[in-house]
Amino acid sequence: MPRSLRFTGEQKNITFDELEDFVKAARDAGVRGHEEITVAISSSGKIKVLEIEFWD
């Protein structure tokens, strides 16, 4: 069964540190490098949401 990991920015948009936290959490959960990430972008072009679906 697939699992998912979803991150949103503490403020309105995701910071570089939060992006790093997302990658660390994904790696810790067993996500491999070939998995695709879904991203929601704001109207100003900034990242609002990161989500990845993966298999155990």
- Confidence (pLDDT) at 2: 87
CA angle 48/53/56 to nearest 5° reads 145
Indicate yes or no: pTM above 0.75.
yes
Expressed as residue numbers, the domain containing 25 is 2-55
How many domains in the chain? 1
DSSP state of 55: E
Q: What do you get for the CA distance between the two ends of the chain, in Å?
A: 8
- Write the pLDDT tens digit of every residue in 19-49: 999 999 999 999 999 999 999 999 999 999 9
Tokens matching residue 47: 């990242």
Distance, in Å, from the CA atom of 26 to the CA atom of 11, rounded to the nearest integer, reads 21
| Phi, psi values for residue 10, rounded to 5° | -60, -40
